[in-house]
C-alpha cells in the first residue's frame, strides 16, 4: 500500500515511516528537510506546506500512482490544506499520533 506522510523529518514522522516500512508499505514522505531515511520503498520530496504552490502539488503525487492513506505529522495548522487537496485521491487522512495510537499501522494490508 502506498502511504503519504507529511512532516516526514519530525520525530513523529520518522517513527510513522519506520513502522510503515517495517510492515512492508511504500511511503512517500514530505517535509522541508530530509528525514535522512534511505530505503527502497521510501521516497522523499521537499514540501513547504505553508506555501500554497507546494500544497497544491501534493495532489500530483497521487494522480498516477494512488496514495491510499495520508498520515499528517506536520503541524496541525496545515491539516486542512492537505485534506482539501488529497480528498479526491485518498479515503483516509490520519494525524500521526492518532494513527500510531490506533494500532492500525500493523493491521494494514499491502495492496
Give the pLDDT of residue 107: 43
Name 50's bridge partners.
none
In the sheet where 2-6 sits, what is the strand order? Answer: 42-46, 26-31, 2-6, 69-72, 92-95
pLDDT of residue 28: 94
Q: Above 90 in pLDDT, residue 10?
A: yes
Q: How high is the pLDDT of residue 103?
A: 57
> How far, in Å, CA of 57 to CA of 105, rounded?
26
Q: How many residues does the chain have?
A: 111
Q: What is the reported pLDDT for 111?
A: 35
pLDDT in tens, 16-70: 999 999 999 999 999 999 999 999 999 999 998 888 877 777 778 777 788 888 8
pLDDT of residue 87: 75
> What percentage of the chain reaches a pLDDT higher than 70?
79
Amino acid at each position: 500500500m502506498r502511504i503519504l506522510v507529511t512532516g516526514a523529518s519530525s520525530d513523529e514522522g520518522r517513527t510513522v515511516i519506520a513502522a510503515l516500512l517495517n510492515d512492508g508499505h511504500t511511503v512517500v514522505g514530505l517535509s522541508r528537510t530530509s528525514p535522512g531515511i534511505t530505503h527502497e520503498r521510501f521516497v522523499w520530496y521537499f514540501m513547504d506546506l505553508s506555501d500554497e504552490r507546494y500544497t497544491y502539488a501534493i495532489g500530483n503525487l497521487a494522480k498516477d500512482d494512488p496514495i491510499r492513506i495520508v498520515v499528517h505529522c506536520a503541524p496541525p495548522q496545515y491539516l486542512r490544506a492537505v485534506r482539501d487537496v488529497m480528498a479526491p485521491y485518498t479515503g483516509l487522512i490520519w494525524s500521526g499520533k492518532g494513527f500510531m495510537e490506533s494500532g492500525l499501522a500493523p493491521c494494514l494490508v499491502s495492496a
